[in-house]
Amino acid sequence: MQDRQGEIWLDGRWLPWREATVHVLTHTLHYGYGCFEGLRAYDGDGGTAIFRLDDHLRRLADSAHILAIDLPWSRAEIADACRQALARNGLRSGYLRPLLFLGAEKLGVDPAGAASHLMIAAWSWDTYLGKQALSRGIRARVASYARHHPNVQMCRAKAISAYANSILAVREARRDGYDEAILLDSEGYVAEASSANLFLVRDGELIEPEIVTALDGITRRSVRTLAVDLGLTVRGKRLTRDELYCADEVFLTGTAAELTPVVDIDGRRIGDGRPGPLTRSLQARYFDCVHGRLPAYAHWLSRTDA
């Protein structure tokens, strides 16, 4: 990732990609204290647009507030830098990563005295789990690692440190031949995948885990809205892992995962082992939405030439 052409925004300055570096004694490198966002831009009808830019930046500000990290830049400044990041890197579609971290001004568990730094990078990133994942679906396993209790890791923040839990789970899954991990919470109920939210379909109803220990995903919220607008019943409840096994359909949602079908969990076939009709319908509608083909959702798109 470090050896690329292009530019990265760091603390209000545009730097050549290879020069956007930090010191090895950077506080966040040692303690994992910081937060980030992941956004996608799509080249669709009407040109390039970032999907739900304002919502992502609001969550970034919320994460910083929860973690008590100073965010010295306004959301308008960050939004402008996100738009510029695409143009400066010659991207009509791509992935954007704003990351708020603490610098090398001091070390020690208490970060008081370490300054806030913000970087924004953009690059081309096609499908997170591969194109076949979107068309054929993936295999997942329930992890041996539990998702955080809300008083261990505050779950409304998209905190860097929370992803150690995800890394352990997804490495375990891939070691055992699966594509993705599904984590239960500390009480044994379904939480989410390693880096995506989860939905199941049963008897025509769309059901998701209660959003307690899972991240309140923006793609998740979008899919809920799309489903309700199609007349589907959508509800959240405590879900057990055996309810996943018996679902008619299961799919994941996330900025990176987009809308990915799950066709096997722990060696149990989901439905007939292929992406189901509701999954297909919502997936198609989601891609129509992000590519600007549904005028009713145009307010979710931030044009880069605006």
H or E element in which residue 164 lies: helix 163-175
Based on the residue annotation, tell me whether 131 is a catalytic residue of this protein: no
Cα(first)–Cα(last) distance of the chain, in Å? 29
At residue 198, φ and ψ (nearest 5 deg) are -135, 140
Q: Check residue 6 and report its DSSP letter.
A: S
Spatial distance between the Cα atoms of 48 and 305, rounded to a whole number of angstroms: 8
The sign one gets for the Cα dihedral 119, 120, 121, 127 is positive
Number of Cα atoms under 13 Å in the Cβ half of residue 37? 31
Q: Cite the beta strand spans of 62-196 per DSSP E.
A: 94-102, 116-123, 138-142, 180-184, 190-193
Q: Cite the beta strand spans of the chain per DSSP E.
A: 7-10, 13-16, 34-36, 39-44, 47-51, 94-102, 116-123, 138-142, 180-184, 190-193, 197-202, 205-209, 234-237, 249-254, 258-265, 268-269, 301-303
Spatial distance between the Cα atoms of 77 and 187, rounded to a whole number of angstroms: 41
Task: Find all residues with CB under 8 Å of 132, minimum gap 6, and list them.
Answer: none
Q: Which of 106, 131, 158, 237 is catalytic?
A: 158
Tokens of residue 155, six digits: 């779950």
Token pair 């939004």 in the structure block, residue:
79
Residues acting as catalytic residues: 158
